Amino acid sequence: MFESVYIRLLTVVLFLQISGNLQADAGIIPAPPELNASSWLLMDYDSGQVLAKNNIDNKLPPASLTKIMTVYVAASELAEGHLSLSDVVTVSEKAWRTPGSRMFIEVNDKVTVEELLKGIIIQSGNDASVALAEFIAGSEEVFASQMNAQAKRLGMLDTHYMNSTGLPHKNHYTTASDLAILARAMIRDYPDIYSWHSIREYTYNKIKQNNRNNLLWRDNSVDGIKTGHTEEAGYCLVSSAQRDDMRLIAVVMGTDGSEARIKASQSLLNYGFRFYETRKLYSSGETVTSVRIWKGDRETLALGLDEDLFITVPRGQYRNLDASVEKNGRIFAPVTRGQEQGMLQVSLAGKDLLKVPVVALEDVQEGPLLHRLKEEVRLFFE
């Protein structure tokens, strides 16, 4: 698992390094929009390529963007069987008293986990966040440690949580880069729970509230994710949209109003969909190349990838991609399936876009003794 996470992070890092180069090349693609925000980022979901960025590693207060992680932790507990949507939560006084946006639960209310999750996702309820955190972990403080553990596991290296709501605290911070990692994980790992982010309104306790993500009404391709606002954080939005087979994630932090965060996010999404396209290069287990293997019970070894590989390029440039495999010298049996045997390198117009390991797609055992001796002779003369 950690190896595949490393490969994904390596790919993202390489894309971060080259995305500016592609944008700067005259005649290929225009520069991304400049936004009046503290930090922003546009990422392709499938490839992980960053298409636009500004101050993406600045540690900033996330406000209610925190609740993406609150929901992610709850979804992981559901997936592991530690929690059920039908479980009943008794609302504490602390949850009821939590300031800020509310689901309007009352002290000692009996509320299901499903209702609380929808109150968090759709209504951005701080009260619901605390109630769910206390139910899962016993206290909000322990729940925050679970949030931090998940952040570390996902590779969110510049994030630290102190609570489940995003209420201000000097040690509660994240970055646009980390939020994009989290958003991508939310969509990938828990698609059923993610689908609730597109629900436009929710009623609890006879009080109907609209989803605070106004992009859901302005762009039918948008299906999430979360708004945030405090005086310290400004107006923030993490959004995602899918058009045809391409999904983008936009992170906008620190704008000066709710309308500004909507316009900035829409501008990023439109830019990405207009000027880029994403293609699958290879499927997991697909043979990328076959190479000579020495002293084995066969003479060729199939090399490929252990997960699907996508790439995002300027529209119309896919046909100009170059791909090559550099293997790790001569390969000798025995070889185990999944063993790294080289690197796949993809470039465009002479610039490296990505490098990912290629692995053996099959086990190869040592050949008979006589065959191995013959191979030794061949190697000697070569």
Residues labelled as active-site residues: 64, 67, 124
Strands (E), 3-68: 39-44, 50-54
The answer to whether 341 and 359 have CB atoms below 8 angstroms apart is yes
Q: What's CA 247's distance to the chain center, in Å?
A: 11
Q: What's CA 76's distance to the chain center, in Å?
A: 15
DSSP characters over 186-238: HHHH-HHHHGGGG--EEEETTEEEE-S-THHHH-TTEEEEEEEEETTTEEEEE
| Gap between the Cα atoms of 158 and 21, Å rounded | 25
Cis peptide before 121 (omega within 30 of 0): no
Structure tokens at 40: 């922003």
Say how many C-beta atoms besides its own lie within 10 A of residue 302's C-beta.
Answer: 19
